[in-house]
Chains A and B, each alone.
Chain A
Amino acid sequence: MGRFWSIIFLSIPVLGTAIFVWAAMGWYPLEGHWFPELVVADDSVDHLFYTILWLTGIVFIVTGLCLFWFLWKYDHQKNEEPAQYSHGNHYLEVLWSVVPAIILLFLAIYQMDAWAGARMRRPMLENGQPKPPLARVTGRQFEWLIQYPGDDKKLDTADDIYLINELHVPRDEEVVLEITAKDVLHSFFLPNFREKQDVVPGMKQFVWFKPIKDGKYDIVCAELCGWGHYKMKGQITVESKNDFDAWLKKAYADQELSQYKLAEAE
């Protein structure tokens, strides 16, 4: 039976690798869904994921094969050598402490720049001031309230534009969004943008990205916010600067045509 069990354990690295290859190649039913289409300029998340996948993949396969080989070779029904009376090996211990330590430290330092880019280096204006947000996104049970500042470029003034679950952003530009929440925690998750940030009531936060591909993509709520969490779905549209400006103008006009004034809507 030792042979049988060895092969069962061999199946873990073999099938595990096969499934990852299957998924990364995008075969049925994953056509194009293993990592949703990337639509921002910054590919550091994907790059880092694949770097870690290669490193851990090698460790996974090597340890899996070692486990299999030891089980195959040292099965007590087949192995005629007596068990080795050994309490360890100092050099091996040093080796397998130092090598992983170096790899892990490398990974830790290697990713710092991507993190800083995503969370610390907010895009600047030419005058050195932080770029103001294009829009404010507020989560509440169970919808995304979108607020554009209007012509005066200031939020919370009379010419603000209010929308629900519909966010448009211009292509090829650094987009800064202000995100917050009204009631409970939500999470502003844009799978195609590799962006996710919990929105916390009472806290004002900023996210930024540079979209490079036109299209309509999902806004997903990724932090449990109550029974309707699953349907808190928005849509983000990336379009050229001209289309965006035209759309924004039309949205403003539609709002002005409405019989409700801002004071009543609030």
Chain B
Amino acid sequence: MLKVEKLVVRYGAVTAVRELSLEVGQGELVALLGPNGAGKSSTINALTGLVTPASGRIVLDGKDISHVRTEDRIRAGLTSTPEGRHIFSNLSVGENLRLGAATRRDPAGVRQDIERFLALFPVLSERYGQAAGTLSGGEQQMLAIARSLMSRPKLLLLDEPSLGLAPKIVVRIFDFIGELKAQGLTLLVVEQNARQALRFADRVYVVSAGTLRYDGPPARFADEHDLFNLYIGG
């Protein structure tokens, strides 16, 4: 579904991503692991188009989207839940969800989806009219993922969904991510928290200093303790 070839991202003189290539197949959950500053978020932002890569190709469903604007990539079925959640804190929970569906033209379907997420996350229902900035970190993460899903994406990029959350909440978030995979969504999950990411991953990539260091199934990855320790730290 998604194919990235020799992606290079530079910020001035600093190269954040060096010739990174990866692939995500239909219905797969692929984990992209690596330490802080490895170039994971830069990769995600290049995929959504918020950052312009210096070189490389991004192909979605056989179409080269390397030079397509962010807005049009979202319309093509790709979306991301950014690192740090980035919910619209001055808008209400409901307004956040409505904006998530901005590309859709079926009001009835949008309303149904909103109700589905409110049933799934009762706390969002309780806080529906409140400013989203008043939610707790875990609730904001759920809202952020639900908001991304409102556009009915084919491929969801999740950037550090566990960031800054309590361990119990992280487990719940990943349970939900597992459900999304079971429903057939294709996911690319960027994480520092390898244990959680590996629970549902079909394949694993490990990046460090902008370069790919591992590519393979999670089982083999867990066996290779050296790698595990080197990049994940235990």
Answer yes or no: do A and B interact.
no
